[in-house]
């Protein structure tokens, strides 16, 4: 069932329930009024009968004439009897319509009674007169009142059905009007393809949920557009970077095979091919790591940052024996304060790549690394005295294959820092880069403990 149909149905059901309660309340109040009115008239009828036959000598002439005028106004199927203290009917004698002795005695005891037998209602009053005490009983059927109630019921029933019908179609119109912006959003989104991710949904000035939904879609489209552009750029750069060593290898081999060479010449060419193949292998490994760094948090474990830095330093010393890494700690005795949850292999790659860049772009000068706490947050500082990074290039250094304008002459493919940045973001590490051209660069890594 569509949302608009569900909304209109829910609106109709809720409104119908409320309308039914209102109509039921009106109907019950009307029935109560009709019954009370008839009982009042029936009581008045019994009192008028008693005054007509018993109180002539106690009423003024004018009052008695009023009683005489009221008496002929009988009720439907009326029965009236007057009994003396001996339970003998007086003034009105009709042996076919008599009340049992128990009812007469109850009237004398209660002074006034009211009860119903089916549709017939009966009232009884105990009338005290100077000529004696009498029991007056009157009964009648509220034929007109019951007719009114039946008529009211059918009028309300038909009105209820018509109202439900109107409510349902009104609800459909309301739901269609309320959901029309969403329907428009769905229609617009259907026409967005991978080739048209630059399109955006219309956002109006109001701050309602529909506009929030449109803005959310626009943000998603913007992220998708950036992702597709990054993917296209990545593929283009990767193809270019892979083509370079392959072209070099193919060129050296073709030139070598163009004529006979000496053993030494073949050896030189093969060494060049091996060197280019090593570069190609490193590039492929870096690209593979860059694409495979999405890990689940369940792969995280307790990791001491001081031990991680020692592992990185040992590897750097073996690979770059001419480089000195100055590693200093300023830590409390409790190792839990600089123990984090992370993946050891990935963090090793990330920190190692930052170190390798520092060594490469400082021409093997000393790299200073510090581990300390700042407001209970573990911080790793990696600083070099190399060529530095311009302020314009700093926002782009974590983009794949980006290389600064001053890096000409240095080997590399622009993959190491993007890989490190992606790994550190997976570990919720905040990265701050401070650099000055010609003086060096400092990377500050703030770890969430």
pLDDT the model gives residue 445:
95
pLDDT the model gives residue 67:
53
Among 176, 182, 160, CA closest to 6: 176
CA distance 140 to 196: 85
Could you read off the pLDDT of 265-321 as tens digits, one per residue?
A: 878 888 888 877 876 777 677 666 656 555 555 578 899 999 999 999 998 888 888
Burial class (CB in 10 A: 0-12, 13-18, 19+), 35: middle
The answer to whether 292 and 419 are in contact (CB under 8 A) is: no
pLDDT the model gives residue 292:
58
Residue ranges in 191-259 assigned as alpha helix (H): 209-257
- Residue 397: strand, helix, or coil: coil
pLDDT the model gives residue 6:
81
Domain topology for 297-446? Heat Shock Protein 90 (3.30.565)
CA distance 111 to 214: 78
CA distance 67 to 52: 6
Token pair for 143:
């034929």
CA distance 319 to 378: 27
pLDDT the model gives residue 308:
93
What residue has token string 């302020």? 391
pLDDT the model gives residue 5:
77
pLDDT the model gives residue 354:
93
The DSSP code for 299 is: G
* 209-290 belongs to CATH 1.10.287.130: yes
- Residue 440: strand, helix, or coil: strand
pLDDT the model gives residue 70:
58
- Residue 323: strand, helix, or coil: coil
Token pair for 2:
């569509």
- Residue 128: strand, helix, or coil: strand
Q: What is the pTM of this model?
A: 0.48
Paired sense of beta strands 89-90 and 132-141, if any: unpaired
The answer to whether 140 and 125 are in contact (CB under 8 A) is: no
Low-confidence stretches of the chain (pLDDT < 50) are 64
- Residue 24: strand, helix, or coil: helix
Could you read off the pLDDT of 381-395 as tens digits, one per residue?
A: 999 999 999 988 888
| CB contact set of 213 (below 8 Å; sequence gap of 6+) | 182, 185
The DSSP code for 189 is: H
Intra-chain end-to-end CA distance of the chain, in Å: 49
CA distance 217 to 191: 14
Supply the CATH classification number for the domain 3-148.
3.30.450
Domain ranges of the chain: 3-148, 209-290, 297-446
List, in sequence order, every beta strand (DSSP E) within 91-212: 112-117, 120-129, 132-141
What residue has token string 């005489």? 68
Residues forming beta bridges with residue 136, ordered by sequence position: 82, 125
Any idea how long the chain is? 449
pLDDT the model gives residue 222:
80
pLDDT the model gives residue 64:
47
């Amino acid at each position: 069932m569509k949302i608009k149909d569900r909304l209109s149905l829910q609106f109709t059901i809720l409104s119908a329930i409320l309308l039914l309660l209102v109509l039921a309340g009106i109907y019950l109040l009307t029935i109560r009024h009709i019954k009370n009115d008839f009982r009042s008239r029936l009581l008045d009828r019994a009192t008028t009968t008693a005054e007509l036959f018993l109180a002539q000598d106690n009423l003024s002439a004018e009052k008695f004439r009023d009683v005489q005028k009221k008496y002929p106004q009988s009720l439907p199927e009326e029965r009236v009897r007057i009994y003396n203290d001996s339970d003998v009917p007086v003034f009105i004698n009709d042996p076919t319509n008599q009340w049992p002795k128990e009812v007469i005695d109850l009237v004398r005891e209660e002074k006034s009674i009211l009860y119903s037998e089916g549709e017939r209602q009966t009232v009884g009053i105990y009338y005290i007169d100077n000529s004696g005490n009498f029991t007056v009983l009157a009964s009648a059927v509220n034929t007109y009142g019951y007719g009114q109630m039946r008529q009211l019921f059918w009028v309300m029933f038909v009105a209820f059905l018509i109202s439900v019908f109107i409510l349902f179609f009104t609800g459909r119109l309301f739901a269609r009007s309320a959901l029309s912006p969403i329907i428009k959003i769905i229609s617009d989104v259907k026409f967005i393809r991978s080739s048209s991710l630059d399109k955006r949904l219309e956002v109006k000035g109001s701050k309602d949920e529909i506009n929030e939904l449109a803005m959310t879609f626009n943000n998603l489209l913007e992220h998708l557009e950036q992702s597709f552009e990054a993917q296209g750029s990545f593929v283009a750069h990767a193809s270019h970077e892979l083509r370079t060593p392959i072209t070099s290898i193919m060129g050296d081999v073709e030139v070598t095979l163009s004529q006979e060479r000496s053993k030494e010449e073949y050896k030189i060419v093969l060494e060049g091919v091996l060197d280019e193949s090593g570069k190609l292998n490193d590039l492929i490994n870096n690209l593979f790591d860059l694409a495979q760094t999405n890990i689940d948090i369940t792969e995280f474990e307790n990791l001491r940052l001081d031990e991680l830095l020692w592992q990185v330093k040992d590897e750097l010393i073996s690979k770059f024996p001419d480089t000195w890494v100055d590693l200093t700690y300023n830590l409390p005795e409790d190792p839990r304060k600089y123990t984090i949850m992370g993946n050891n292999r990935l963090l090793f790659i990330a920190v190692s790549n930052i170190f390798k860049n520092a060594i490469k772009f400082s021409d093997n000068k000393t790299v200073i690394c510090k581990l300390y706490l700042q407001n209970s947050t573990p911080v790793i500082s990696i600083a070099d005295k190399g060529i530095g990074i311009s302020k314009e290039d700093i926002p782009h250094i974590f983009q794949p294959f980006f290389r600064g304008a001053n890096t000409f002459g240095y080997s590399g493919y622009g993959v190491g820092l993007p890989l490190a940045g992606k790994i550190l973001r997976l570990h919720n590490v905040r990265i701050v880069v401070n650099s000055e051209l010609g003086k060096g660069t400092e990377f500050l890594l703030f770890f969430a403990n």
